[in-house]
Structure 1
Amino acid sequence: MRIAVIGAGALGGTFAALLARAGHDVEVTARGAGLDAIREHGIRLSGGYGDADVRVASGPVLTRRPDLALVCTKAQDAREAISMNAEHLGGIPVVVVQNGLDGIATAEELLPDAEVYGAASIIAANYTEPGVVRVTTTATSYLGRGDGPADEGAVRLAGILSQATPFTAIPNFRGAQWTKLVVNMLNAVPAIVGRSVQEVLADRGLRRVVAAAMRETVRVGVARGVRFGALQGLDDRGLRRFARLPLLLGQLLPWSMGVRMGSVPNLGSTQQSLRRGQRTEIDYLNGAVVRQAALAGVAAPVNAALTALVHEVEDAGASLPPARVLAVLSD
């Protein structure tokens, strides 16, 4: 099957390598040093899914019409990437594998005749060297669209993608996007202080800030009328219960996530962007919570403060002391 992967970073590179290893005809898009590395030596995958050096067709844009496309760019790059490749994406299934809440709507706007689905992936992978991806945590990915039951198309696509790595078609994908947004609250604090996710979650003070960002995200979702989707052991009932807990007990949620990550350092996608000298997608993670809070008429001070601190790190090019993060709660 011809499969396009738009954006061959951490997740895109992982999916491209695994799909090619499973026998699919894969073409990827990439830019700059990443594209140069893929053209020179292919995609080098290591870690949880084993080692693979995979040669795939590559370029700044697609050169042919695929049977299926995965959009795996950073959230802030989605509109440009989809627009640049739109001539090859009409009328086919397009799966948006992206953080935040906006990716599917963007694809539907730009590709009105495509079958647009979303995928939420909890796979953790480090991509700090062009063309080289190390998977630090394997996981099932979840595919669907809308807030209804999983349709036949979602089930079919999950079956195809599961030839490479486990995918499950799920109902209430819109709610699952919010659940993934809660999980993505693991990103900001490690990026600000320059530590791995596991190191941050092992620190009692920093873990409390992460828990506060998660709790605030759930409370904003509740205010917006969200029914959280089931994702990796999290569900609507459990998250609503978490949102009512004091931080002393609520920090058990991020702590348990850190335990499940294992010992291989997970940098988080936001910190990886910083290490590559790129702007992050923080405005589509913590920043998205702030925008949704405004729509609900409530405040999101923790997420607003963390968004501002990540932008400060972007501008300064250096991490900040943990005290700056701890001050988020005292402020």
Structure 2
Amino acid sequence: MRIGVIGAGAVGGTIAALLDRVGHLVEVTARGEHLETIRRDGLRLSGAWGEHVAQVEAAETLQAAPELVFLCTKAQDAAAAIRENQHLLAGLTVVVVQNGLNGLRQAALLLPDSECVGALALYAASFLSPGRVSVTTAANTYLGAGDGEPPAAAVAATKVLDAAMPAFAVANFTGSQWTKLIVNQINAMPAITGLSAQDTLGDRRLRRIVTASMREAVRVGFDAGVRYGSLQGLTNGILRFVSIAPLWAGQLVPLMMKRRMGATPNPGSTLQSIRRGQATEIDYLNGAVVGEAHELGREAPINAAIVDLVHEVERTRAFLPTDAVVERMRAVR
């Protein structure tokens, strides 16, 4: 099958390399030195799913009509990427692999003649350098759309992807998106401190902040009528516990997440963006919680403060010491 992958960063690069490894004809989009390196040396994958050099076609936009497309850009870049490739996407299944809550809805609006389905990548991958990606923690990818059973297009795309990496079509995709949003609560603190996700969750004071932001986010979801999907050991029942438990008890959940990550340091996608000097997705992660709270006529002060701290690091390119983070977040509570 001819497959297009729009955005060959950590997540998209992993998908592209693994689909190439099982025999698909893959074309990726990339820019700058990353594009030049892929054209010259191939796309190099390492880590939890083994090593592979994918000799994929590469350009700034898709050059040939694919049969299936994976949209894997950062959330803030998705609309522009869709418009750049729109002439080749009509009538196709487009799998939107993105963080946040609005990616699938946005794609469906921009591509009314395409079958858009969502995907949640739970594996952790790093964009090491131009042309190189590494999987630091292996995990599943979940596909679906809406609140009901997965549509036929999601089931078909899952079969293609599952031949290359663990993938499942799920019901209640909207609830699963919210659960992934809670999983992504661990992304901000590494971006603020420069530490790995494991180190931030291993620090008692930082873990308490993450737990507080997670609890706030979970409560917003429940107030919005969300029934959380089951991902990474998190269920609607466990998240109900997080929403009502005191912080000392709620910390059991981020500690469980830390154990699942294993020993390989996981920087998280937000810290990776900071290190590359790129805009982060924080407005679509913790910022999505703030936006959903506003829709309910309320505030989400902990998540709002975390968004502000990440934007500060984006502007200054200077990570904040743990003591400073704790002191500034103490004022929020």
Letter in 1 for 2:308: A
Cα distance in 1, alignment partners of residues 30 and 270 from structure 2: 18
Query: 1:1-331 maps to which residues of 2 (within 5 A)?
Result: 1-327=1-327, 328-331=329-332
Higher alpha-carbon deviation: 187-196 or 28-37: 28-37
Task: Count the aligned residue pairs.
Answer: 331
TM-score (norm 2): 0.98
- How far apart, CA to CA, are the structure 1 residues paired with 2:256 and 2:229? 19
Q: Which amino acid aligns with 1:137?
A: T
**Residue 178 of structure 1 aligns to which amino acid in structure 2?**
W
Paired with 1:33 and 1:247, the residues of 2 have a C-alpha distance of 45
Separation in structure 2 between the aligned mates of residue 329 and residue 90 of structure 1, nearest angstrom: 50
Tell me the C-alpha RMSD between the 2 structures.
0.9
> Which moved further from structure 2: 151-160 or 13-22?
151-160
- Work out the percentage of aligned pairs sharing the same amino acid: 55
Which residue type is aligned with residue 279 of structure 2? Answer: R
Q: Deviations over 1:47-105 (max 9, x none)?
A: 00001111100000001111100000000000000110000111010000000011101
The answer on whether the counterparts of 2:26 and 2:56 sit within 8 Å (CA) in structure 1 is: yes
Deviation at 1:232, TM superposition (A): 2.1
* C-alpha distance in 2 between matches for 1:140 and 1:128: 21
Q: Secondary structure at the match of 2:142?
A: strand
Q: Which ranges of 4 or more aligned residues in structure 1 deviate by more than 4 Å?
A: none
Q: For residues 248-279 of structure 1, give each alpha carbon's deviation from its aligned partner in whole angstroms, at most 9, with x where no partner exists.
A: 11111111111111110000000000111111
Contact 1:302–1:329 (Cα < 8 Å) also in 2: no
Deviation at residue 330 of structure 1 after TM alignment: 4.1
Counterpart Cα distance in 1 of 2:39 and 2:71: 20
Distance 1:164 1:324 in 2: 44
- SS of the equivalent of 1:303 reads helix
2:330 partner amino acid? L
Segment drifting more, 22-31 vs 121-130: 121-130
TM-score of the two chains, using structure 1 as the length reference: 0.98
SS in 1 for 2:310: helix
Distance 2:243 2:99 in 1: 21
Q: Which runs of 5+ in 1 are unaligned?
A: none
TM-superposed deviation, 1:151: 2.8
Q: Displacement of 1:128 after TM fit?
A: 3.2
User: What SS does the aligned partner of 1:64 have?
Assistant: coil
In the TM superposition, what whole-angstrom CA distance separates every residue of 1:81-137 from its partner, at most 9, and x where no partner exists?
Answer: 011000011101000000001110111111101000000111101113111111100
- For 2:106 and 2:33, locate their aligned partners in 1 and report how far apart those are by CA, in whole Å: 27
- Which deviates more, 28-37 or 138-147? 28-37
Q: Could you tell me how far apart the structure 1 residues matched to 2:186 and 2:236 are?
A: 19
Q: For residue 194 of structure 1, what is the amino acid of its counterpart?
A: G
- 2: distance between equivalents of 1:244 and 1:298? 18
Q: Cα offset for 1:187?
A: 0.5
Rounded Cα–Cα distance in structure 2 between residues aligned with 1:19 and 1:233: 27
